[in-house]
Amino acid sequence: MRHLHKGVSFAIGLAVLGASLAGCGGGSSSSSDSGQIELSIGTFTEFGYEDLITEYEQLHPNIKITHHKTGEGGPYHQNLITKLAAGNGLEDVVAVEEGHFSDIIDKSSKFNDLTEIGPKDVTPDRWLDWKYEAGKDSDGRLIGYGTDIGPLALCYRTDLLQAAGLPSDPEGVKALFATWDSYFAAGAQYVASTGGKAWFDASSQLYNSMVNQLDTGYLDRDDNLTIESNPGIRAAWDRITTAIQGGQSAKLVAFGNEWKTGFQQGSFATTVCPSWMLGVVEENAGPDNAGKWAVTDAFPNGGGNWGGSYLTVPKQSQHPKEAAELAAWLTAPEQQLKAFQARGNFPSQTQALTSPQLLQQTEPYFGDTKIGQLYADQAKKVTRAQYKGPGDGQIQENVTSPALQAVEQGTSPAEAWQQVVDGAKKIVK
Amino acid sequence: MTTVVEKPPRQDAPRERAKPTLRHRLSRWDVKFSPYVYIAPFFVVFGLTGLFPLLYTAYVSLFDWEIGDDDPKFIGLENFVTLFGDAQFWNALVNTISIFLLSSVPQVIIAVLLAALLSLRLRFPASWRVGILLPYSASLVALGIIFANLFGPRYGLVNAMLETFGLDRVEWQANRFASHLAIATMVNWRWTGYNALIVLAAMQALPRDVYEAAVVDGAGAVRRFFSVTLPMLRPTLIFVVITSTIGGLQIFTEPKLFDAMPGSNNGGSQHQFQTLTLYLYQSAFEGFDLGYASAIAWLLFLLIILIALANFLITRRLAATTGLKR
């Protein structure tokens, strides 16, 4: 064994040395002699950019684009922050998701101001106001061009609502979903008339949407923690924990395995549906449940947004001007409409929202609902973007969602609230 | 295994001390220094990828170092002080030790028993041996996902089976001890066979004559196992215990995948099964607090050394008391 070890480690040693020597030679040169410019772009999951990139290369023969595509958002953003810190290795155009954008804004000095380097004809009125505003850092520099958004609506099971004696047609459901009070009242009625079946899938989904609707979130503009002083946060907490204790929650963890099973078994009647969720519902509920799920243009207490991304140009980029041009082109209404048709990412550009292409889009799984029109209407209900300070996403993922899960598992709301306060304070030191 | 190699007569020691020629000198240097050059690559690579990170981690742990900071602030041992007052750290430490004990203790015991069974006269011995190694060859991530499904609190197979036997369902994720048990099951399923094979290999190398003597002395199978086999397995057992200590205290993938929230490093809604490595990873890559994470890493390192040392002493003592005393 010992002898074997030496031999193996020697071989490994040689291999590693060889590899590292070889690695030193191959630095990335971003421009070649012929005046051609090489750009790279980094995205995660599906942006629908494949055809667009080919098109851009045809329009700009002097530009060659490498597309780095990553499957999952979480590791992609960790990698992004690490490379940002390392000072190299990032692409010229880097996509950032809304939920991670506050971490980027925190280090905004490492990014270019797109109003300075970007094409001058790209003006704020290209985007919905709030989407444009949320792309700026606290000094008002524009860090990201908006790509897609996730306007909120609610999905519901028509058959289950019917069976419980509740209205199930779009107009009737709209009344149920008018406010959070009416929504939870309908939930109580649903639980009572079905003998204890759950009204919604996971409390954190609703709670995050409620907090998102507030004027101020977990952090105020000066990055102070508001969790104890903000009455809206506490009110949302009380509302949702009351609903949990009334048996309205299916106690599933969103995006977990059992959540998917829950969709197949119809163990809840409603779920929060940002535009990108339609595909998720369809995939999880499966063909057996086709036609049972529906979506309507109503969300309690007005609209809201969940998800969507930005394209940024880090200062590491060797060709910031060309990179900004590419990002500007990709986020133009025409291109975002194509991306929407390719992958269903809902555009954030005002012009795209009135395009017939978008408004005519229907979804057979949801009973041929005109989803383009529906989400365009929902998008218009969002009036402003809530300020997200550094640590906001972490509080949501690592503090409030687990605490709500604890309430679902039997912890008292008071004890879980203490968990929230302590946890949030630990993150915002 | 002992082969006697006859020493060749020494040629490079002439009787009269003549002035060594260059050729002689080169050849002597070759004998003297070449071996070091041959093994140097390992130490160079180890220095770069093992020793340097270790020392650099210790250096980073003395700073308030957020990822991307241009000039981190030196704070001395403050990270360690904070860590000692951090309830989440102690919670993670207890979880780690609990999962480690729940996995390593049964694992080593079952592995030794399995090895004893496998060393009996069996038909198709190779296929049995390969069979117990199969769990080890499966992908850890796939296993994690499968076991997390089995132990699902609502739709999991284990709870469904408990119910068909008229038992209460178990909240596998909410209940701290239950979650440790579920994770330990995952670890045991994967590693027991691997350890059993190592023990089996050692068992088969034990000298037969000792057993024959024991049989002549009238020792039964059980007596032979406890008085002959176990004491002679001592070095192997120490190896198995130490490797499983190192693995057990660094447990990461199983608890991470066991969490119902995808991608979460929380280890349950109230950190019921957050281990030290999960907490370390969360501090470094979700909290971006490299200094604090480095402090955790170093404490974990010291802890592993301490426990491995304790294990070494205990195993030696245990095996020694029942050892061959003539």
Predicted confidence (pLDDT) per residue in B15-28, tens digit: 556 677 889 999 99
DSSP-derived letter for residue A345 is P
Question: Which of B43, B70, B236, B269 is most worth mutating to test chain A (most A CB atoms within 10 A of its CB)?
Answer: B269
Substitution target in B155, B239, B278 with the highest count of A β-carbons within 10 Å is B155
- Residue in B41, B261, B263 nearest the CB of A17: B41
Residue with tokens 């508001």: A226
Structure-model confidence comparison of residues B10 and A184, the more confident one: A184
Q: What is the pLDDT of residues A285-306, one digit of tens each?
A: 999 999 999 999 999 999 899 9
The confidence score (pLDDT) of residue B16 equals: 57
Could you tell me which chain A residue has the CA closest to the CA of B86? A426
**Is residue A370 a contact partner of residue A361, using CB atoms and an 8 Å limit?**
yes
Q: Do domains A37-149+307-360 and A151-306+372-428 have the same CATH topology?
A: yes
Model pTM score: 0.84
Q: Using an 8 Å Cβ cutoff, are A274 and A150 in contact?
A: yes
Residue A57 pLDDT exceeds 80: yes
Instruction: Note whether B266 contacts A409, CB cutoff 8 Å.
Output: no
Instruction: Using a CB–CB cutoff of 8 Å, tell me whether A261 touches chain B.
Output: yes
Q: What are the φ/ψ torsions at residue B289 (nearest 5 degrees)?
A: -100, 85
Per-residue pLDDT for B229 more than 60?
Answer: yes
Size of interface A-B (CB pairs under 8 A): 97
Lowest-confidence pick of A3-12, B242-251, B257-266? A3-12
> What is the DSSP-derived secondary structure letter of residue A109?
G
As a whole-number percent, the residues of chain A with pLDDT over 90 amount to: 76
Q: Which CATH architecture has domain A151-306+372-428?
A: 3-Layer(aba) Sandwich (3.40)
Q: Which of B39, B154, B262 sits opposite A10 (nearest CB)?
A: B39
Q: Which residues of A touch B156 (CB under 8 A)?
A: 258
Q: Are A182 and A304 in contact (CB under 8 A)?
A: no
Quote ipTM for the complex. Answer: 0.83
What pLDDT, on the 0 to 100 scale, is given for residue B315?
76
What would the CATH number be for the domain defined by A37-149+307-360? 3.40.190.10
* Helix, strand, coil in percent for chain A, rounding step 5: 50, 15, 30
Hey, are the CB atoms on B68 and A107 less than 8 Å from each other? yes
CA distance B15 to chain A (A): 36
The per-residue pLDDT for range B79-98, each reduced to its tens digit, is 999 999 999 999 999 999 99
Query: Is A410 in the B-facing interface, judged by CB distances under 8 Å?
Result: yes
The distance in angstroms from the start CA to the end CA of chain A is 51
Cβ–Cβ < 8 Å for B200, B118: yes
Band (pLDDT 50/70/90 cuts) for residue A32 is: very low
Measured CA to CA, the distance from residue A122 to residue A329 in angstroms comes to: 9
A34 touches chain B (CB under 8 A): no
- What token pair was written down for B174? 């909410």
Q: Hey, is A231 helix, strand or coil?
A: helix
CA-wise closest residue to A296 among A156, A182, A161, A199: A156
Q: Where in chain B is the domain with CATH 1.10.3720.10?
A: 80-321
pLDDT (mean) for B71-82: 93
Domain B80-321: CATH architecture, name and number where available: Orthogonal Bundle (1.10)
Which tokens in the block code for residue B299? 């404490």
Whether A176 has a pLDDT exceeding 50, the answer reads yes
Degrees (nearest 5) of the Cα angle A262, A266, A269? Answer: 105
**Nearby residues of A284 by Cβ (< 8 Å), 6 or more positions away:** A259, A260, A263, A264
Question: Which run of H or of E encompasses A69?
Answer: strand A63-70
Contacts of A17 in chain B (CB under 8 A): 41, 44-45
Closest CA to A68 of A83, A87, A88, A49: A49
- Across the strands, what pairs with A296? A154
Residues ≥6 apart with Cβ < 8 Å to A368 = A362
Q: What is the mean pLDDT of residues B219-236?
A: 90
For residue B285, name the pLDDT band (cuts at 50, 70, 90). confident
- CB contacts of A81 in chain B (<8 Å) are 67-68, 288
**Residue ranges covered by each domain of chain A:** 37-149+307-360, 151-306+372-428
Taking the C-alpha atoms of residue B158 and residue B147, their distance in angstroms, rounded to an integer, is 10
Confidence category of residue A25, pLDDT binned at 50, 70, 90: very low
Q: Does A220 touch chain B (CB under 8 A)?
A: no
Which stretch of A3-7, B7-11, B175-179 has the lowest confidence by average pLDDT? A3-7
Reduce the DSSP state of residue A386 to 3 states and report it. coil
**Per-residue DSSP letters for B102-171?**
HHHHHHHHHHHHHHHHHTS--SSHHHHHHHHHHHHHS-HHHHHHHHHHHT-TTT-HHHHHHHHTTPPP--
Q: Residue A20 pLDDT > 60, yes or no?
A: no
| Phi, psi for residue A182 in degrees, rounded to 5 | -70, -35
- DSSP 3-state assignment of B196? helix
Chain B partners within 8 Å of A268 (Cβ): none
Question: Which residues in A lie closer than 8 A to residue B269 (C-beta atoms)?
Answer: 402-403, 405-406, 408-409, 411
Which residues does A296 contact at the CB level (< 8 Å), separation at least 6? A153, A154, A156, A170, A173, A174, A177, A374
Q: What is the rounded CA–CA span in Å between residue A411 and residue A404? A: 9
User: DSSP of B62-99, one letter per residue?
Assistant: TEE-BTT-SSPEE-TTHHHHHHHT-HHHHHHHHHHHHH
What is the rounded average pLDDT of the residues A36-40?
A: 93
- Strands A37-44, A93-97: pairing kind: parallel
pLDDT band at A365 (very low <50, low <70, confident <90, very high): very high
Q: Is the pLDDT of residue B240 over 50?
A: yes
Residue A12 in this model has a pLDDT that exceeds 80: no
Q: Which residues contact A38 (CB under 8 A, 6 or more apart)?
A: A29, A30, A31, A32, A63, A64, A65, A66
Say if residue A322's pLDDT is above 90.
Answer: yes
Q: Report the distance separating Cα A190 and Cα A404, nearest Å.
A: 21
